[in-house]
Chains A and B, each alone.
Chain A
Amino acid sequence: NAGVTQTPKFRVLKTGQSMTLLCAQDMNHEYMYWYRQDPGMGLRLIHYSVGEGTTAKGEVPDGYNVSRLKKQNFLLGLESAAPSQTSVYFCASSYETGGANQPQHFGDGTRLSIL
């Protein structure tokens, strides 16, 4: 039972390069989320999705795009990477039923460095 899987686990980019982070969940969860984690700032929500084909902005969406073409996958894209996007990125998913009392299940993170 894999849960939430993030690929890649590590990546180094040069400023201006683009890349896509992939998140896959096998729990049939309706909701999926992308967060970034920076020292002293906790987790901040970038984008989220309430179902296949839907996406919405979170707290810090600028510079990122997302897509949810399949229920089990949630992609996070950086079109033109900037050093300020150096961070650890976490994907999470949760059930719809029961609302916000359903906890989120997290992947192990992607460590991204922008030079």
Chain B
Amino acid sequence: AQSVTQPDIHITVSEGASLELRCNYSYGATPYLFWYVQSPGQGLQLLLKYFSGDTLVQGIKGFEAEFKRSQSSFNLRKPSVHWSDAAEYFCAVGTGSTGNQFYFGTGTSLTVIP
């Protein structure tokens, strides 16, 4: 069965510091991987996606993620965090088995301190 694990429920970083959010997945075939961000009271917004090719993908707002097949991971990174990055971050796996279903992690809440 497919699953997505985000081991960090909550992370606090200082503004200007680097950030890495972890995501591990379990899926038998080639995964389609996504990172979404959710600001308070809002829906989810796509940050970036990976489905083939270069394992380092660039997204919006200065985020990037690296796919590591050997570790079944798709970690999200940002070199320098801004206060506006405070939000909930979700990793997701897309499968084409039936109706293009998506499986989401439980999310990581990011707090940015001045």
Binding site for B on A (CB under 8 A): 4, 31, 33, 35, 40-45, 48-50, 56, 58, 90, 92, 94, 96, 99-109
Tell me whether B46 is interfacial, beta carbon within 8 Å. yes
Interface residues on B, range: 20 to 34
CB B100 to nearest CB in A, in angstroms, measures 4
Which residues does chain B contribute within 8 Å of A35, judged by CB atoms? 104
Q: A106 with B43: in contact, given A50-B99, A100-B95, A101-B94 (CB under 8 Å)?
A: yes
CB A27 to nearest CB in B, in angstroms, measures 13
CB B14 to nearest CB in A, in angstroms, measures 26
Q: How many inter-chain residue pairs (CB < 8 Å) link A and B?
A: 70
13 other contacts beyond A102-B94, A106-B44, A108-B43, with CB at 8 A cut-off?
A40-B106, A41-B106, A45-B102, A50-B99, A90-B44, A99-B32, A99-B94, A99-B100, A100-B96, A100-B100, A100-B101, A102-B100, A104-B102
CB A2 to nearest CB in B, in angstroms, measures 12
Tell me whether B11 is interfacial, beta carbon within 8 Å. no
CA distance A29 to B26 in the complex (A): 28
- CB pair B42 A108 closer than 8 Å: yes
Which residues does chain B contribute within 8 Å of A92, judged by CB atoms? 44
CB A96 to nearest CB in B, in angstroms, measures 8
CA distance A49 to B100 in the complex (A): 10
CB B87 to nearest CB in A, in angstroms, measures 14
CB A61 to nearest CB in B, in angstroms, measures 13
